[in-house]
């Protein structure tokens, strides 16, 4: 039995995130079955008809003008899968493979792909019993579908390729057999339905989106700590300032910062002024920068939620009209744009976070904190090189944020002459969010040290709870020590959500897809 029942066309990103994070399985709502069967019947009729229908009784791509006899239908579909298994690179991680399979279920469940219900059932059973195809991460240009990676998924369904079952890699045939499942023999259009579509690009983009939102929430929590550590002013977070501009993300970010810092003794100690007229932008403009990034993530989330529920193969069966029509829903341009938006947001959240780190470690810029946040500067270097690492990661993310959607190259003998490059545009997000988590983790270590140097003054109750959670994993830095593992531990607290969960109530609840 599956953990979740999904109704195609109305699945939320929240449900998909649960599937991805918690390893849940999914099946389609039974109400989908009739539409799936009806579209399969239309394909069956077309396969034996005289009229050429792309991918049903013709070849593919540049070979679409070649008519295929009815007795060659099964061979055509099998050959399609095998010939398209040309992926390279590292295998996609198991959590994302589950998400890819779930997205393919949702697409087939729209009843426009012309596959028999038996294919849907096999995908559901593979998910529920833990048969996960080995899918190489590289090979898709994000147009005409994610052909190569999806072919590796489909290969297991026909008893070919490689799969992981019970933590062991084996042939697709052996994996199905070990799980008590039987390979399927494809009929007209079914191979094409499995490999056409944007499910791999979309899954990569969704995992990047989920981790970007986690990082954005953590960034606000940690930046509130940094503001207190630097004795920054909270006046720029006044609600009316942000209402006068009107951007939702900015308004939300300012509210979160106000609520996180409410009751801080450190903040109250300098409300009357300490001679500084204005803080640097990395403190003063946090709502404007991080808020704009959150707005970008919300826009990307809307595009990806639509795409996750879409029928994106070709041709599509228009059941009410009784037509089978060739189109271009497999072109992943919306996903490519969403991935580029996420990349920009991730890069900018990291860029302003890195400047807060630089502010806190620099005795010229910070307010009465020791150089590099060590009790004995000179004898100890403290967090000097942790800041340098954050700068390296920030710069790397800047380069990775260059758009992929503006790239294209003709493929398939110029038949597919404009492509989206969505797959690698989305796949890069994993590397970027990992970099961002390390940047924010380093900022958390700096901010925690800065707050502790302000004793006996205390930060707010909310931020004290965050500081306590951090200190369960990483001890205060007194004398210099081997820091690399602690930087990784801090990054894990960011993407794992541990620091944000230390904040009570629903302060951060709005900052989600």
Please, what is the end-to-end C-alpha distance for the chain in angstroms? 28
Look at residue 56 and tell me whether its pLDDT is greater than 90: no
Which regions of the chain carry the CATH code 1.10.275.10? 4-197
Instruction: Tell me the H-state helices in 454-483.
Output: 461-473
DSSP class of 330: T
Out of 54, 165, 204, 337, pick the active-site residue.
Answer: 54
Which regions of the chain carry the CATH code 1.20.200.10? 204-312+321-501
Would you state the pLDDT for residue 274? Answer: 58
Name the percent of the chain lying above pLDDT 90.
87
Residue pair 459/501 in contact by the 8 Å Cβ criterion:
no
Taking the C-alpha atoms of residue 371 and residue 362, their distance in angstroms, rounded to an integer, is: 6
Look at residue 1 and tell me whether its pLDDT is greater than 50: no
Tokens of 497: 């959500």
Taking the C-alpha atoms of residue 305 and residue 344, their distance in angstroms, rounded to an integer, is: 19
Tokens of 104: 């393919």
Angle at 172 between CA 167 and CA 176, to 5 degrees: 80
Residue 54 catalytic? Answer: yes
Phi, psi torsion values for 165, nearest 5 degrees: -140, 130
CA within 13 Å, CB half, 225: 34
Mean pLDDT of 184-211: 96
Q: How many CB atoms within 10 Å of residue 368? A: 10
Look at residue 272 and tell me whether its pLDDT is greater than 70: no
Residue pair 440/397 in contact by the 8 Å Cβ criterion:
no
What's the CA dihedral at 149, 151, 153, 156 to 10 degrees?
A: -140
Look at residue 64 and tell me whether its pLDDT is greater than 90: no
| Region for residue 224 given its phi and psi (left: phi exceeds 0; alpha: psi -120 to 50; beta: otherwise) | alpha
Look at residue 150 and tell me whether its pLDDT is greater than 90: yes
Taking the C-alpha atoms of residue 252 and residue 458, their distance in angstroms, rounded to an integer, is: 25
Taking the C-alpha atoms of residue 313 and residue 310, their distance in angstroms, rounded to an integer, is: 9
SS (H, E, C) 240-252: HHHHHHCCHHHHH
The winner for highest mean pLDDT among 283-297, 311-325, 359-373 is: 283-297
> What kind of fold does domain 204-312+321-501 have according to CATH?
Fumarase C; Chain A, domain 2 (1.20.200)
Give the CATH class of 4-197. Answer: mainly alpha
Lowest mean pLDDT, pick from 45-59, 295-309, 387-401, 408-422: 45-59
Q: pTM for the complete prediction?
A: 0.96
Question: What is the H or E stretch that residue 317 is in?
Answer: strand 316-318
Instruction: Tell me the H-state helices in 401-460.
Output: 422-453
Closest by CA to 467, choosing from 229, 265, 231, is: 229
Mean pLDDT of 89-96: 97
DSSP string, 337-356: HHHHHHHHHHHHHHHHHHHH
């Amino acid at each position: 039995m599956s953990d979740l029942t999904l109704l195609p066309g109305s699945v939320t990103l929240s449900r998909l995130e649960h599937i991805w994070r918690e390893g849940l399985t999914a099946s389609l709502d039974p109400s989908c079955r009739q539409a799936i069967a009806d579209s399969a019947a239309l394909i069956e009729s077309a396969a034996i008809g005289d009229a050429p229908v792309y991918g049903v009784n013709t070849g593919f791509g540049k070979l679409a003008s070649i008519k295929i006899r009815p007795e060659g239908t099964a061979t055509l579909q099998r050959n399609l899968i095998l010939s398209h298994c040309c992926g390279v690179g590292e295998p996609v991680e198991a959590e994302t493979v589950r998400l890819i399979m779930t997205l393919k279920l949702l697409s087939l469940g729209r009843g426009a792909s012309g596959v028999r219900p038996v294919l849907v059932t096999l995908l559901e059973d593979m998910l529920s019993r833990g048969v996960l195809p080995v899918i190489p991460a590289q090979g898709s240009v994000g147009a005409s579908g994610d052909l190569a990676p999806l072919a590796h998924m489909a290969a297991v369904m026909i008893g070919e390729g490689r799969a992981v079952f019970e933590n062991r890699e084996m042939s697709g045939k052996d994996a199905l057999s070990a799980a008590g499942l039987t390979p399927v023999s494809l009929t007209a259009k079914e191979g094409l339905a499995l490999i056409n579509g944007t499910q791999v690009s979309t899954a990569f983009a969704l995992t990047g989106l989920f981790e970007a939102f986690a990082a954005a929430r953590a960034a606000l929590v940690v930046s509130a700590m940094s503001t207190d550590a630097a004795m920054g002013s909270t006046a720029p977070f006044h609600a009316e300032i942000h209402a006068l501009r009107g951007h939702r993300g900015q308004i939300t970010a300012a509210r979160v910062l106000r609520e996180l810092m409410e009751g801080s003794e450190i903040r109250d100690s300098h409300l009357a002024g300490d001679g500084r007229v204005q803080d640097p932008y990395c403190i003063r403009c946090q709502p404007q920068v991080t808020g704009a990034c959150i707005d970008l993530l919300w826009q990307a989330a809307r595009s990806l939620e639509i795409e996750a529920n879409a029928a994106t193969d070709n041709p599509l069966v228009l059941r009410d009209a009784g037509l089978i029509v060739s189109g271009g829903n497999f072109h992943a341009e919306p996903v490519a744009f969403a991935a580029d938006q996420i990349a920009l947001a991730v890069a900018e959240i990291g860029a302003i976070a890195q400047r807060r780190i630089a502010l806190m470690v620099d005795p010229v810029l910070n307010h009465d904190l020791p150089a590099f946040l060590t009790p004995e500067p000179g004898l100890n270097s403290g967090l000097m090189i942790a800041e340098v690492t954050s700068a390296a990661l920030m710069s790397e993310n800047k380069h990775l944020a260059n758009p992929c959607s503006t790239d294209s190259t003709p493929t398939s003998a110029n038949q597919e002459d404009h492509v989206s490059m969505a797959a690698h545009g989305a796949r890069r997000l994993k590397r970027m969010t990992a970099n961002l988590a390390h940047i924010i983790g380093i900022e958390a270590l700096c901010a925690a040290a800065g707050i502790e140097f302000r004793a006996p003054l205390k930060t707010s109750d909310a931020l004290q709870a965050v500081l306590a959670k951090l200190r369960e994993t990483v001890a205060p830095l007194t004398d210099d020590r081997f820091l690399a593992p602690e930087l990784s531990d801090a990054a894990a607290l960011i993407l794992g959500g541990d620091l944000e969960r230390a904040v009570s109530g629903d302060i951060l609840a709005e900052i989600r897809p």
